Each structure stands twice: as C-alpha cells, then as structure tokens.
C-alpha cells in the first residue's frame, strides 16, 4: 500500500512566524513534506486571525529565502481579479522554479464583502461583480490556468541574428467570457516548469467545485477531497488517502508543527524528496494546452534593419 504524503496548512499567524525566522525557514525547507498551504484560514471558512500576510507576499519570501520547499498561495476572487491573481501565480512559479501553486477559494475571510448585488470583484468599483459562490471561484481558476498557458514558454527564442526575442505570434488572447470577461494575454510567459498546480478546498461534498470536464482543479484538499485536514494533536484518520494536511491551531506554533511533521515522516508517512516542482512532487499530469483556434495576440515578427 502506498504511504500517504504529508502537507502543512499554515494560518495567518504562522506565516508571520515562519517568514520572520531563519531557523524555522531552514527547518521548513529541509522537511520532506509534499507542500504547505500559505494562509489556509483565508479560504477554508475560518474566522480571521489577529494577524496575517497576503499569501503571495509570504510566497515571494519563500521563493527567495528557500530552495526546496513547495507551497500553495491562497486567493479568492472576492476582492481580487483573476488577471491579477494569475500574474502573482505565474511570477511565483518563475521565481520558485515551479515549487508554487494556487489554492483558489470562494471567500476571503480577511476581506470585507463587496456590494450585495455583486460581492465578488464588485467592491473594486469598476461596475459589475458576481456572486460569491463556487461557480465564480471555479471560473476564476479557469481564467488563471488559461492566462498562464496563453504565452508558451518555448516561444522565447532569443535569436540574435534576426533580432527576434519572442515568437509573439504564438501568444494568444484567451477571450474568456464567463463570470469574468478577460481578453488576455498575460504579461509573463508560461513557466518553464509547466502549469502551476491549482487546488480547491472542500470540507464537505457541498463545498466541491461545479462538475466540469474542463475543470482546471488538479488537487482536492479537505475532508471531501483526497487530502483530508487533520488538526495538530489529533491522530491521522483511518482509510486510504493520497495525503494528509496537518493544520495547527492559531495557538500552536510553527515549531510545534514542524516537530510533529518530522515525527510523522519517520512513522508511516511518505517522504517526498525536497526540491523539484510541485506538480512532479504530486505526480500530477500536465494539463492539455489551450485550443489551437484562439486568436494570435501579435503579428509574426520579422527580422529588422536599423533606422
């Protein structure tokens, strides 16, 4: 029987504690867990803690200050737009060499709701807005994935003879028109390491994302998914799971979490060797590329002469 892997669920105060301590960062980086969620309390229905950090800010610190640890940033389209989320997801993937991914949520516990008529993105004051529900979050995840794939990495050719840096005619408009109307393209190429992992959290079956053959969700966290959440101090649940996500309470420290994780890794949980991409660590397949029918964003570049 394959052993389950271990993952860590960090809440707001843990992000502050971890990123302020070189010792903890070093321990975290050496731990052979599959991944950590940065700010799981932002999207799992928790009440807000006394402190937190924007998940991507903590992710940027981890991308620079560590070499091996893998992580998911948490975001929800409540006061955040998929284009802006995609930018941070793709930037982190480049800067962490593929160690990062996204946990998309329906609501953001730390953010005030927008207007009643359109609480998702409606607070940005640009008109529109959408309901705060699973469909909106799913559409946001779909947009992030499409935007990330819209500019193929191998279109960067850097040909000094012709003067062409990027075969930009291979970059496409995504032309989304669901909850979010987005033309694209994104202003950064797809990561060389492949598409970022996108995860969803479902405590119960009622929290599952809408069934969709084109769903971009790679990984289902929570008790209704393949990686149930276990409170730090509790015993691992019986049954077969891909992994277990260990979640300390707000009062428990990152040090205590790492102590228990180290113990569990020596006793029944699979070590995922540190380093490498999150997608490879979880043995997830690369999603299919975008449809070849999407319209090109730019004309085919031609070799040039000087003025």
Partner 1 sequence: MTNKRSGHVILGINVLVLGYLPAAWKTSLLAKDAFIDPDYWANIGRTAERGTLDALFLADGPLLGDPAYDANPIRLEPTVNWGQVATATSRVGLVSTASSTFNDPFELAERLLSWDHQTGGRAAWNVVTTRGVNAARNFGMPDIPFRDDRYDRAREFVDVVRALWGSAATGRDIDFHGEFFDIKGRLRVPPSKQGQPIIFQAGGSPQGRALAGRVAEGVFAAELTKQQAIEHYRLVKNFARGNGRSPDDIKILPGLLLSLGSSEEEARRRSDDIHDAGPPSYSIAWLSQAIGYDASTFALDEPFPEEVLGPVKDSQTFLGSIGFRESIITQIRKTNPTVREYLKQTRYTGSGHAGFVGTPEQLADHIEDWFHAGAIDGFNLQPDRLIDGLPVIVDELVPILRKRGLYRHAYETETLREHFKAASPTPSF
Name which of residues 166 to 195 contact partner 1 (CB under 8 A).
166-168, 171, 180-189, 192
Which residue, 91 or 138, has its beta carbon nearer to partner 1? Answer: 91
Which residue, 39 or 225, has its beta carbon nearer to partner 1? Answer: 39
Q: Determine, following the binding rule CB under 8 A, whether residue 123 of this chain makes contact with partner 1.
A: yes
Q: Determine, following the binding rule CB under 8 A, whether residue 297 of this chain makes contact with partner 1.
A: yes
CA–CA separation, 274 and 83 (whole Å): 31
Question: For residue 168, which phi and psi values (nearest 5 degrees)?
Answer: -70, -15
How many residues of this chain bind partner 1 (CB under 8 A)? 75
Task: Looking at residues 102 to 121 of the shown chain, list those that interact with partner 1 (rule: CB under 8 A).
Answer: 110-112, 115, 121
Q: How far is the CB of 38 from partner 1 (least distance, A)?
A: 11
Question: For residue 82, which phi and psi values (nearest 5 degrees)?
Answer: -55, -35
Q: Determine, following the binding rule CB under 8 A, whether residue 28 of this chain makes contact with partner 1.
A: no
Which residue, 173 or 252, has its beta carbon nearer to partner 1? Answer: 173
Strands (E), the chain: 5-10, 35-38, 71-75, 100-104, 156-159, 164-166, 176-177, 181-182, 197-201, 219-221, 229-231, 243-247
Token pair in block for residue 22: 């070189």
Burial 80-105 (b: 16+ CB within 10 A, else e): bbbbebbbbbbbbbbebebbbbbbbb
Which residue, 150 or 216, has its beta carbon nearer to partner 1? Answer: 150
Q: Which residues contact 180 (CB under 8 A, 6 or more apart)?
A: 77, 81, 82, 121, 130, 139, 140, 143
Task: Looking at residues 57 to 96 of the shown chain, list those that interact with partner 1 (rule: CB under 8 A).
Answer: 57-61, 63-65, 79-81, 83-84, 87-88, 90-92, 94-96
Q: How far is the CB of 31 from partner 1 (least distance, A)?
A: 19
CA dihedral for 177, 180, 183, 188, sign (positive or negative): negative
Place of tokens 């029918």: 293
Binding marks (x or -) toward partner 1, 142..171, rule CB under 8 A?
Answer: ---------x-x--xxx-x--xxxxxx--x
Q: How far is the CB of 193 from partner 1 (least distance, A)?
A: 11
Name the one range near partner 1 by CB under 8 A: 215-223, 227-235, 263-271, 297-305.
297-305
Name the one range near partner 1 by CB under 8 A: 52-60, 221-229, 241-249, 262-270.
52-60
Which residue, 181 or 226, has its beta carbon nearer to partner 1? Answer: 181
- The pairing of beta strand 181-182 with beta strand 176-177: antiparallel
Which residue, 36 or 56, has its beta carbon nearer to partner 1? Answer: 56
Task: Looking at residues 250 to 279 of the shown chain, list those that interact with partner 1 (rule: CB under 8 A).
Answer: none
Question: For residue 75, which phi and psi values (nearest 5 degrees)?
Answer: -150, 155
CA atoms within 13 A on the CB side of 18: 34
């Amino acid at each position: 029987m394959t052993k389950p892997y271990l993952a860590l669920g960090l809440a707001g105060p843990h992000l502050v504690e971890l990123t302020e301590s070189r010792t903890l960062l070093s321990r975290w980086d050496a731990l052979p867990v599959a991944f950590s969620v940065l700010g799981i309390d932002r999207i799992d229905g928790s009440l807000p803690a006394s402190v937190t950090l924007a998940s991507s800010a903590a992710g940027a610190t981890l991308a620079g200050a560590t070499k091996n640890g893998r992580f998911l940033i948490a975001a929800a389209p409540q006061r955040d737009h998929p284009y802006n989320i995609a930018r941070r997801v793709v930037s982190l993937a480049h800067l962490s060499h593929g160690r990062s991914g996204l946990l998309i949520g329906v609501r953001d516990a730390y953010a005030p709701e927008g207007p009643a008529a359109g609480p998702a993105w409606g607070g940005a004051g640009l008109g529109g807005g959408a309901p705060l529900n699973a469909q909106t979050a799913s559409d946001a995840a779909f947009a992030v994935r499409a935007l990330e794939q819209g500019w193929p990495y191998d279109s960067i050719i850097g040909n000094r003879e012709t003067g062409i840096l990027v075969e930009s005619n291979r970059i496409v408009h995504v032309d989304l028109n669901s909850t979010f109307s987005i033309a694209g393209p994104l202003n950064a190429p797809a990561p060389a390491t492949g598409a970022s992992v996108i995860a969803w959290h479902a405590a119960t079956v009622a929290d599952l994302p809408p069934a969709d053959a084109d769903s971009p969700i790679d990984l289902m966290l929570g008790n209704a998914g393949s990686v149930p959440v276990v409170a730090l101090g509790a015993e691992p649940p019986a049954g077969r799971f891909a992994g277990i996500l260990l979640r300390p309470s707000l009062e428990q420290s990152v040090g205590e979490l790492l102590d228990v994780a180290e113990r569990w890794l020596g006793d029944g949980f699979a070590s995922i060797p540190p380093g490498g991409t999150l997608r490879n660590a979880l043995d997830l397949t690369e999603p299919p590329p975008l449809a070849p029918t999407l319209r090109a964003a730019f004309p085919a570049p031609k070799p040039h002469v000087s003025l």
